Amino acid sequence: MQHEFLKQFPKRMKHVALYALLLANSSQKATWKQYGFLNMDEQVNLIFAVMLYLMEQSLKEETCTMDDIGAYIDTLNTSYFEKSLSYEDCRRLGDFIINVILSNDGRPMYFSCYDFEKHGYEKKNISYVANRIVYLDSEVKRTSYYLTDDGYNLLLGTLEMESNMKLTVHEMIFKMHLEKQSYDKAVDEVKNVFNLLRMQLQKIQEAMGRVRRNALNYSVSDYQAILEENMDTIRDTRTQFLSYRDLVKTRAGELEAEQINIRRLTAKEEENLGNLRIIEQYLNRAIDEYQKILNSHLDLKALYTKELEELSQMSLIQRFSLRSELYDQILEHPAGLLRLDYFLRPLLLHGPDQIYNLNKALELQRPTRKKNETESNIEEQMDFDEAQWLKEQELLRQKKLQKYRACLIFILRRLLARGHVTLQQLKEETASSEIQRSQLIPNTEIFKEIMVELLKSRDIDISALKQEHREFIQETSSGFQLNEMLLELLDELEPPDGKPLIREIHISRIEDGTSVLFPGVLDESGNARTIRCSNIQFQSQ
């Protein structure tokens, strides 16, 4: 099929048909005018109010006769709609809604949905309401109405789940399809997930546009709602999507390896492989969208804060009427025209009047040529010293980078030897050796910066870093860059055959309430300090 997104088209059109036939049945009836419901808005509101009553009665497994419906409409009319209707009019109106609009006078309703896979239309039956015979008080025979599956789907579709739950629900369904290996359904769900992320990004951009136009038109409740949605979207989304992408890559790699080395894939397996590739593409796009949402979230917070601060500052500006404060005053006192510049000068941003500076007058004056020669000599001397100063600064920078390298390579070697190491274990290992301790902690500032960068990274994918390093041209940084230094050190430690020693590094705090103490550590000024930090664990794969 040329357009994959048209595969589920009949199913989508069935949902559209639920609304289309209902509105078509209602809009063509002139009976509404007899009861005072003249425009379509009132008619549709009453229809759905009656359907909700049917659903409530069906869920409670209680009878819903025409008398019950008439009494319900009469209550609504008395309290809300306020039409001039009697109880009998309300009962007849309920009969009209149930039997004419929702049941189409007892005739079956169909909607033709085009099936692009079969190249033809497929008729879908639509039924909102059904009925059954009940006996009230074991003797009186009545007809009780209830909603069908189509009726339930229609009403449940009108009140969608909370915005902060949509992404979670679709993600759960996507995960379930992956586990069951229903990759064709997983493709639809990952598209839904990506669409929700795209919609969230668009909402943030629209909110920023409204704030830029006028921050007072954007309420605090709207701002709070979008921030909460952003936080629900951002929380754990990237980690989960990365795990899904790794799983999809693994399964696609297994199928590709089987196709190359063992046997030719069946048609179903080839379809699964194609779906896995589509899922991987959408997961990559979803991760990019997540990063855009995170950046836009921070931009929105900064923009809203800035606009509100500027609006608060406007209240300090004193305003006046040109008519009463200027024109009328000039007409009454024309001599004021001679001093009009005092009034207009602030408006024209005129510079302040010059003031005679006695300090400058009493300052020792030097000949201009001698002063220029002195400045020239100083400039030449500075030019000569600048090269030496730059050389000294480069030496200091190299020495500082060597300390960063020593700390990182100390951690990496322990990680390669064990696969898992904690900061507490590193402390115990270096307690008896001052040399090893100076490698792990060159000084307080360097150790703190490295630990903070590692905790911020949390999960480091070495293969992804290498690919990014190959594909993108980046300027060489003059300071400490964790990713660049990790790649350099791993290249030095890797064996000649080029087999990677570490694929991933995971860094996390150990939340057990304990802390690690390093007493007597020197800072850059040479003062002895004690470092207290949470215990951290390092894991490699």
371/360 Cα distance (integer angstroms): 17
First to last CA, the chain: 41
Q: 167 near 240, Cβ under 8 Å?
A: no
- Phi and psi torsions of 520, nearest 5°: 70, 35
Q: 191 near 282, Cβ under 8 Å?
A: yes
pLDDT in tens, the chain (541 residues): 567 778 778 888 888 998 999 998 888 788 898 899 988 999 999 999 999 999 888 878 788 999 999 999 999 999 999 899 999 999 999 999 999 999 988 899 999 998 888 888 989 899 999 998 888 876 788 899 988 888 888 887 776 555 556 777 777 888 888 888 888 888 888 888 888 788 888 888 888 888 888 887 788 888 888 888 778 777 766 777 888 888 888 888 887 777 666 667 788 888 888 888 888 888 888 888 888 888 888 888 888 888 888 877 776 666 777 888 888 888 888 888 888 887 777 777 656 677 888 887 788 777 665 555 555 554 444 444 567 777 888 888 888 888 888 888 888 888 888 888 888 888 888 888 888 888 888 888 888 888 888 888 788 888 877 777 776 555 555 667 777 888 888 877 777 666 777 888 888 888 777 888 888 888 888 888 888 888 888 888 7
Q: 99 near 31, Cβ under 8 Å?
A: no
406, 441, 405: which is closest to 426 by C-alpha? 441
530/39 Cα distance (integer angstroms): 77
Beta carbons within 8 Å of 64's beta carbon, 6+ residues apart: 53, 54, 57, 58, 144, 145, 146
Kindly state the tokens that stand for 152: 């339930």
**Tokens 């704030």 found at:** 211
Q: 462 near 494, Cβ under 8 Å?
A: no
- DSSP letters for 373-441: HHHHHHHHHHHHHHHHHHHHHHHHHHHHHHHHHHHHHHHHHHHHHHSEEEHHHHHHHHTT-HHHHHHH-
3-state secondary structure 83-96: CCCCHHHHHHHHHH
**Residue 315 DSSP label:** T
Q: 444 near 527, Cβ under 8 Å?
A: no
168, 173, 299: which is closest to 232 by C-alpha? 168
517, 515, 482: which is closest to 405 by C-alpha? 482
Q: 9 near 115, Cβ under 8 Å?
A: yes
Residue 234: exposed, middle, or buried by beta-carbon count in 10 A (0-12, 13-18, 19+)?
middle
